Amino acid sequence: MVHRVQVRPSSNDEGNRLLRIVRRSSGSVVTWRRAQLVLLSAQGMAVPQIAEVTFTSADRVRDVIHNFNTDGFDSLRPRYAGGRPPKFSVDQRQEIKKAALSRPTDHGLPFSVWSLAKLADFLVAEGVVDDISHEGLRTLLREQGVSFPGREDLEDQHRSGLRGQDHPGVGALRHRRRHRRTRPR
């Protein structure tokens, strides 16, 4: 035989506390909603009626009532898990940042500037991490406040001595391309 699910008998203090939670507009909406379900059950309303009035499923109402009966007011507060745990520890993140801020020549490597691919390969080879994707490395470095120079910036470094100019920059190159002299025919 199935028994009717109802909230456990509560004292006047508990009833007043539930009423205060429901009447107060500040605080967590989840807590307010759960307190509302428990209060309606304490007033003698059946689970299907509570589900209909509050626009929720009867199973959800039963779960909230069972949780309140076992855990009391602690069951009304939401317990957020916080999502997926970070893949890399704090020590690993510090080592990654330290490597990104260093120069490859400091580690005996034959290039002068890190790329994401080279840095990722270096971190795996040194045993800092087991595996890391380029996009994961980019995101982690952005969170740590480390930025890599863009491709245009690197190209400017290589083109800096064009036509006797000290630092022509990208603007000078674009200007030269747009305003090419045409030869008379």
Asked if 111 and 104 touch (Cβ cutoff 8 Å), the reply is yes
Q: Give every CB contact of residue 156 below 8 A, 6+ residues apart in sequence.
A: 169, 170
Write down the pLDDT at residue 60: 93
Q: What is the pTM (predicted TM-score) of this model?
A: 0.46
Asked if 173 and 152 touch (Cβ cutoff 8 Å), the reply is no
Write down the pLDDT at residue 1: 44
Query: Within a 10 A sphere around the Cβ of 75, how many other Cβ atoms?
Result: 19
Of the candidates 50, 55, 56, 72, the one whose C-alpha atom is nearest the C-alpha of residue 5 is: 50
pLDDT tens, position by position, 98-111: 999 999 999 899 98
Any alpha helices (H) in 46-133, and if so which ranges? 47-54, 58-71, 90-101, 116-125
Dig out the tokens for 30 from the structure.
Answer: 């989840």
Percent of the chain with pLDDT over 90: 34
Between 25-29, 40-44, 141-145, the lowest mean confidence (pLDDT) is in: 25-29
Asked if 49 and 21 touch (Cβ cutoff 8 Å), the reply is no
pLDDT tens, position by position, 61-100: 999 999 999 998 888 988 877 788 878 889 999 999 999 9
